[in-house]
Chain A
């Protein structure tokens, strides 16, 4: 009897787990879409034959990003999970995806990244006023993003105005 209950509970749990997991998969796809979309509208001061996307901090969508198939017409993108503590490590990355991390760590990381030709996309929280470049906003159905024009200007990256417009419009209300 207990076994039956256990089995039932287990079944229920697994159902829940499965639901959460499928939710995550959908979100992950959206995140990958947004990230690679932003990348496709970004031009680096010097063109790279291959782009490095470095995921740092804790992210539930790291796998989705790794699995996400970017447009084959683009320069190839390799995704790595990497702690960007040293300038050498930073120099290897053209795109930095910031997951969840401690405030201090983030501050230090941003201090290192700002001014470098690195595209910074960060998961919430916090908002872009804290110094990010593109900051994702998760809503029920969709994912939007904020844009910090100041950081972008300092990085020397060129981002298509359409994208900036989308981000700016979302940030203002």
Chain B
């Protein structure tokens, strides 16, 4: 999966980021909401607690306040202050004279944090009357303490952190799983596409995936591959046709000069390797120009076709017959065992040509060919030499008279 575009984030990164952000947002928001709700509940609890403390304290100090007994009040609030979650207690007697005062000692490392928190979150100092026989004889002033609140907040924060760690791990695991689920089929698809590109194997297909979108993608890919395969076949057919046309004579269907020459090069190399012999024949139609002039080009073409058939008919599958142009033909016989075989075939072709040809207009004409034969390796060592030798032999045969044959020197 190594790609040169490393600056782009990978699928796994995107998934991880999405999972992480969702998990963290969920944890933080729910944690904050819970903490706020908890603080609210604690505040309510603190108020209730203070009311309770104040009520019981009021009952405890009632007699002492009535008798103005400061020491007794002090003793009572000392006891209560140590036991309850209050920061400060003040008892005020009749006429507003302060009777006793208790303050939580400034101990503990977190004292200042606690009092700061209490100032922010906790309710105002709480006043409660001291009554005796339905008459108010004094007042109690309570300042709440935030020890519980701090503990709660620390616990809450720790819980949030723990949840964050847990959900981070969970999100990572989930994103890895999801990544495997998505990237598996994608990897297969990418691999398939790569192989298709590299080896032009349009028959490859992506397998079905478990995810609907990926499955759709694979199906589309496969459909595209089908179309590409069809297109490829079409192009190949076109190409083959064009190649055939480039190498063959359209009138007779025989090979043309360039194909013959290239085949000749191959055959020479082959024959040299296997120490085989072969023969090249050049054939030139006699009086062809007169047929054309007398009966028209249609008749000429007909004659050429029949000539091609007659020449091919005397040769083997492995031999190559070519029309070099006009009424000039060539045949490559490979391999041959004896020079006589080539001569024998040439005679047979010459003989075949003597039978009359029916023209499209119904007239009968007789044609003939002059044949030059060159043998490899007897008359030439290369393809060019062989062509030249066959050409030379043919001109020699023409000198001897039309319809005759000659062999290379």
Footprint of B on A, CB under 8 Å?
30, 33-34, 37, 40-41, 71, 73-74, 142-145, 160, 162-163, 165-166, 169
Contacts and interface: CB of A to CB of B under 8 A. Distances in A.
B72 interface: yes
A37 B68 CA distance: 10
Contacts of A143: 68
B68 A166 contact: no
Nearest to A36: B66
Contacts of A162: 60, 62-64
B134 interface: yes
Contacts, number: 43
A33 B65 CA distance: 11
B135 interface: yes
Given A34-B67, A162-B64, 13 more contacts: A33-B68, A37-B63, A37-B66, A37-B67, A37-B132, A40-B66, A41-B63, A71-B132, A144-B67, A162-B60, A163-B63, A165-B63, A166-B69
Contacts of A166: 63-64, 67, 69, 72
Contact of A142 (B60, B68, B134, B135): B68
B133 interface: yes
B69 A73 contact: no
Contacts of A169: 72
Interface in B89-139: 132-135
B306 to A, nearest CB: 147
A163 B66 CA distance: 10
A74 B132 CA distance: 11
5 contacts: A34-B67, A37-B67, A37-B132, A142-B70, A160-B63
A144 B69 contact: yes
A129 B75 CA distance: 26
Nearest to A70: B133
B133 A40 contact: yes
Contacts of B72: 165-166, 169
B68 to A, nearest CB: 6
Contacts of B132: 37, 40, 71
Interface residues of B, number: 14
Contacts of A163: 63, 67
A169 B71 CA distance: 10
A68 to B, nearest CB: 14
Q: What 3 pairs across the A-B complex have the smallest Cβ distances?
A: A162-B63, A37-B66, A71-B133
Given A142-B68, A166-B72, A169-B72, A73 B134 contact: yes
Contacts of B135: 71, 73
Contacts of B70: 142
A29 B62 CA distance: 19
Contacts of A165: 63, 72
Nearest to A71: B133
A143 B68 CA distance: 8
A103 to B, nearest CB: 28
Nearest to B94: A33
A73 B67 contact: no
Interface in B215-241: none
Nearest to A169: B72
Interface in B278-322: none
B156 to A, nearest CB: 42
A30 to B, nearest CB: 8
A95 B64 CA distance: 22
Contacts of B69: 142, 144, 166
A46 to B, nearest CB: 20
Nearest to B59: A162
Contacts of B133: 40, 71, 73-74
A21 to B, nearest CB: 21
A169 B72 CA distance: 9
A30 B95 CA distance: 13
A166 B67 CA distance: 9
A142 B68 CA distance: 7
A54 B69 CA distance: 26
Contacts of A145: 67
A51 B191 CA distance: 110
B180 to A, nearest CB: 77
B357 to A, nearest CB: 152
B70 to A, nearest CB: 8
Contacts of B62: 162
B394 to A, nearest CB: 152
Nearest to B135: A71
Contacts of A160: 63
A147 B172 CA distance: 77
